[in-house]
Amino acid sequence: SIVVVGSLNMDLVVKVPRHPVPGETLLGSDYESHFGGKGANQAVAALRMGGKVRMIGRVGNDGFGERIKAHLKAQGINVNATLCINSPTGVAFISVDKEGQNAIIVSPGANSRLKPEHLSPIEFEGASVVVLQLEVPLDTVRRAARIGRESGARVILNAAPALPLAPADLALFDLLVVNESEAHAYCGLAVDSPGLGLEAARALRERCPTVVVTLGRQGAVWASPEGEGYQPAFEVRAVDTTAAGDAFIGALAVALGEGKSLAEAVRLGAAAGALAVTKPGAQSSLPSRLEAEAFLSA
């Protein structure tokens, strides 16, 4: 099974004619609420890819938290270790202007209250893959990686958002997945091509054995002890690139958990990422395994 330790958010989205300046009040559209948070998105992505998924995290007792848990549970994700605590839920306040430009304020809320001591090895039993991001405290991510390894799981870090990570931190993970801007943050290379992506992956391999760099519509590259490779992106009509990375990670985790090679796992990830950009939204745009397999064999 797949264990995801990470963030769960409610995204509150309002359309505005333009973004307000300090001190100004503007009228926006009716707001929309969407389920989000990289942790929850990746849990749903893995579930749709056919994974058995357990989500470990924290939500608040402000009404959003119970909705988030119920929503994940109804889809089939085990949320027994996602507790509703006395705090606000993680929320992203998103305004979108006429040009489609976002301005986002993230209030981490309950996500920041997930502490290392809240993680219990029992919750990792039977996990083949543990999936982590950086939207919960770093100490918690470190402990999740240690428990995951001790449980015999393969530990994947999606190092997003980019935070100052020490080289010793990166050594805690079996597989690191970064996008172009995170690759830049972690190794200083302005990655904008597969060639530079591969250079970044090689540099990061000094700290973590296997590195995958996703390159948006240029696909993804990887470097591992078994070798290196490039997976071009599949050509699709992009509508909304939100959650492409989350779709990619979920598919990668499930494929690796099934014992597939890294090349095969990245190919399924690229298919899932491509399908996700053809639909608006985050969790609502994540493709099923059937869709991804049909897309790959078309």
Q: Verify binding: residue 285, ligand ADP, rule CB under 6 A.
A: no
Provide, rounded to whole angstroms, the least separation between the CB of residue 213 and ligand ADP.
8
Provide, rounded to whole angstroms, the least separation between the CB of residue 244 and ligand ADP.
4
Nearer to ligand ADP, 152 or 195 (CB): 195
Q: Across the beta sheet with 32-36, what order do the strands follow?
A: 32-36, 9-15, 90-96, 102-107
Q: Which of residues 52-71 bind ligand ADP (CB under 6 A)?
A: none
Output DSSP code: residue 218: G
Question: What x-and-dash track marks residues 91-130 binding ligand ADP by CB under 6 A?
Answer: ----------------------------------------
Nearer to ligand ADP, 39 or 65 (CB): 39
Tell me which stretch binds ligand ADP (CB under 6 A): 1-9, 74-82, 194-202, 243-251.
243-251
Q: Judge whether 187 and 203 are in contact, CB under 8 Å.
A: yes
Nearer to ligand ADP, 59 or 255 (CB): 255
Provide, rounded to whole angstroms, the least separation between the CB of residue 81 and ligand ADP.
25
Q: Verify binding: residue 274, ligand ADP, rule CB under 6 A.
A: yes
Q: Verify binding: residue 236, ligand ADP, rule CB under 6 A.
A: yes
Give the separation between CA 33 and CA 91, rounded to whole angstroms: 10
Q: What angle do CA 290, 9, 41 make, to 5 degrees?
A: 20
Among residues 11, 169, 174, 246, the one annotated as catalytic is 246
Q: Judge whether 211 and 223 are in contact, CB under 8 Å.
A: yes
What token pair was written down for 55? Answer: 């989500």
Total binding residues for ligand ADP by CB under 6 A? 19
Beta strand extents in the chain (DSSP E only): 2-5, 9-15, 32-36, 53-60, 82-85, 90-96, 102-107, 129-132, 154-158, 175-178, 210-214, 220-224, 227-231
Q: Verify binding: residue 245, ligand ADP, rule CB under 6 A.
A: yes
Q: Answer yes or no: 169 catalytic.
A: no
Question: What x-and-dash track marks residues 203-222 binding ligand ADP by CB under 6 A?
Answer: -----------xxxx-xx--
Q: What are the two backbone dihedrals, phi and then psi, of residue 229, each rounded to the nearest 5 degrees?
A: -165, 165
Q: Which amino acid is at 193?
A: S
Provide, rounded to whole angstroms, the least separation between the CB of residue 151 and ligand ADP.
27
User: Which of 59, 277, 286, 292 is in the footprint of ligand ADP by CB under 6 A?
Assistant: 277
Provide, rounded to whole angstroms, the least separation between the CB of residue 270 and ligand ADP.
3
Nearer to ligand ADP, 116 or 194 (CB): 194
Q: Judge whether 213 and 234 are in contact, CB under 8 Å.
A: no
Q: Verify binding: residue 176, ligand ADP, rule CB under 6 A.
A: no
Q: Which amino acid is at 48?
A: R
Give the separation between CA 248 and CA 15, rounded to whole angstroms: 28
- 180: which residues sit within 8 A by CB, 6+ positions away? 191, 192, 197, 213, 214, 215, 216
Q: Which amino acid is at 158?
A: N
Q: Verify binding: residue 273, ligand ADP, rule CB under 6 A.
A: yes
| Helices first, then strands: H and E counts in the chain | 9, 13
Q: Verify binding: residue 248, ligand ADP, rule CB under 6 A.
A: yes
Give the separation between CA 222 and CA 231, rounded to whole angstroms: 9
Which are the catalytic amino acids? Answer: 246
Residue ranges binding ligand ADP (CB under 6 A): 179, 214-217, 219-220, 233-234, 236, 238, 241, 244-245, 248, 270, 273-274, 277
